[in-house]
Structure 1
Amino acid sequence: MFPRLQPATQALLIANVVIFLVTMAVPLLPEAVTTQMLLWPIGAGEVMPGAGFMPWQLLTAGFMHANFGHIFFNMLALWMFGSPLEAVWGSKRFATYYLVSLVGANVLQVIVGTLLLSQGQFPNPVLGASGAVFALLLGYGMLFPNQRMIVFPIPMEIKARTLVIIYGVAELFFAYTGRQPGVAHFVHLGGMLFGWLLIRYWRGQPPFKRGGSRGGRGGGQRRGTATFRVVK
């Protein structure tokens, strides 16, 4: 059963689609402008004139997408995971979770990208909402751990918490080995990390002091079946 689309989730979907359509209209938006919206490592401008890190890229890069397939699967995951989380947390808390995780994921990517640049690797920009999407996956697994899903293309049910573990281990493996180039695995890991930290903060759990809001606890035992495909 597909989740009902929630207000903040809908707003994020619209924002991503509108920005994607505008950036695809090259005559309306010069390449020099779009380049400054992508996420670059610190010092990239010394290697590629016109490139380089700017603070706003931590946010703007999360609303940029390379092609139709890229945005389609990210927005599908945003809808499938975001709407149930927003229904539990409310729009304000959900939007906070999404944006904090997005920015946090990109901060980790900048750190890693800058280190790789200092070791002689050619700088490549990063774009897409996948950092926030992986945070939504993590949040879904924490709030609905026993939710049973059918994950395409695996023709069998799997629990949400099992799915989170599988994706987390896979991202660690690919990030460490570099066997899947062209995918920002540290963005995915960063989204999951910051999403986990924020939920722990709301729950007042270590490494944070107790006494925080417990809004992160809701809805942890819902059951049912959902069909989706998580994107990279």
Structure 2
Amino acid sequence: MMRISDTVKHLIIINVIFFIGTVTVGGGEAFYEWFALHFPASDGFKPWQIVTHMFMHGSIGHIFFNMFALWMFGSPVEYRLGRNKFLFIYFSAGLGAALFQLAGYYWDYLPAYNQLLEAGFSKEVISDIINFNILEGRQFKGALLQEQIIPYMDEHNISSLLSDSTFKTFFETNVLINNSTMVGASGCIMGILAAFGMMNPNAELMMIFLPIPIKAKYFIPGIIILDVISAVTGQSFFSPSNTAYLAHVGGALVGFFIMWYWKKNQFNQNRWDR
């Protein structure tokens, strides 16, 4: 069994500390509010969340499997590449994962936003309404939006702009904005997994639910393809339905292209195994 590398050990400790804070501070909500990555149009968005969300997890199972994968694949990658290049792949993959997932969210958000602009609402009004709190328990409720939107429209003398269509768009956009919070190190780990696969293409890997050894050069692309299918169809194969599949794809692609570049230039100053 390979000994855990120093950087991987430190990353696991930081992730565990964040998880303990998440479940103990502020009734489980404070850390999400401060450190999870909120949609940029949300009032809850803060710049530091672009990094801190990589250390956040939503459940014991979530953090366990991510940290297990980080130990299993991260240690051999760090021993091979060294601390600096390992961290470069890790955080680059995490950033790439966030960008891919946010791009997917914006794909749904921008048409609705433009529709509201064309209906005559200002950017300020749209921003206010899509950030109304319409969550009761775990359910978004149109009645809560109605209670707030009608007096708001009256106050701003824009009641004539409200219709069934624009109300529905406001509701759906509010749900999208407030249901698009990202947490987890999965994107980072997918980048490390891609790097591991490029360095060890013939290593045999197995999934817990599919205990059949498969070479990394087939296993890892297969996982990425399943994530792409899940992102397009919404069909979950092995992950929970709320998994950020595009984040997985983004992290893996970033890890792959970094390793591809380093391997391509392995005989000059950019060589990947220096």
Q: TM-score per shorter chain, which class?
A: 0.7 to 0.9
Q: Report the equivalent of 1:100.
A: 92
Q: Report the equivalent of 2:182.
A: 126
Classify 1:33/1:140 alpha carbon distance in 2 versus 1 (closer, same or farther; 3 Å): closer
Q: Report the equivalent of 1:213.
A: 270
Matched, 1:22 2:79: no
1:110-140 C-alpha deviation (Å, 9 max, x unpaired): 2222332234452221100000111121111
1:176, CA displacement in angstroms? 0.9
SS in structure 2 of the partner of residue 214 of structure 1: coil
Matched, 1:150 2:206: yes
Matches within 5 A, 1:1-232: 2-27=1-26, 31-32=29-30, 34-45=32-43, 51=44, 53-118=45-110, 119=112, 120-121=172-173, 122-123=176-177, 124=179, 125-180=181-236, 181-204=241-264, 211=268, 213-215=270-272
Distance 2:33 2:19 in 1: 14
Q: Percent same amino acid among aligned pairs?
A: 33
Q: Would the aligned equivalents of 2:21 and 2:31 in 1 still touch at CA under 8 Å?
A: no
Q: Would the aligned equivalents of 1:151 and 1:158 in 2 still touch at CA under 8 Å?
A: no
Q: Would the aligned equivalents of 1:150 and 1:156 in 2 still touch at CA under 8 Å?
A: yes
Higher helix proportion: 2
Gaps of 5+ in 1: 46-50, 219-232
Q: Would the aligned equivalents of 1:5 and 1:79 in 2 still touch at CA under 8 Å?
A: yes
1:177, CA displacement in angstroms? 1.0
Amino acid in the other structure paired with 1:214: R
Count matched residues. 205
1:72, CA displacement in angstroms? 0.4
1:204, CA displacement in angstroms? 4.0
Question: Could you state the TM-score of these two structures normalised by the residue count of structure 2?
Answer: 0.69
Q: Would the aligned equivalents of 1:42 and 1:114 in 2 still touch at CA under 8 Å?
A: no
Classify 1:107/1:150 alpha carbon distance in 2 versus 1 (closer, same or farther; 3 Å): closer
Distance 1:156 1:30 in 2: 38
1:212, CA displacement in angstroms? 5.3
1:161-220 C-alpha deviation (Å, 9 max, x unpaired): 111121011011011112234110011011011111211232346xxxx9552225x9xx
Q: Report the equivalent of 1:224.
A: none
Amino acid in the other structure paired with 2:33: T
Question: Could you state the TM-score of these two structures normalised by the residue count of structure 1?
Answer: 0.81
Moved over 6 A (4+): none
Distance 2:246 2:34 in 1: 21
Classify 1:30/1:130 alpha carbon distance in 2 versus 1 (closer, same or farther; 3 Å): closer
Amino acid in the other structure paired with 2:41: G
1:90-126 C-alpha deviation (Å, 9 max, x unpaired): 1121111111111121122222223322344522211
1:75, CA displacement in angstroms? 0.2
Distance 1:79 1:13 in 2: 8
Larger-Rg structure: 2
Distance 1:32 1:75 in 2: 23
Distance 1:137 1:30 in 2: 30
Gaps of 5+ in 2: 113-171
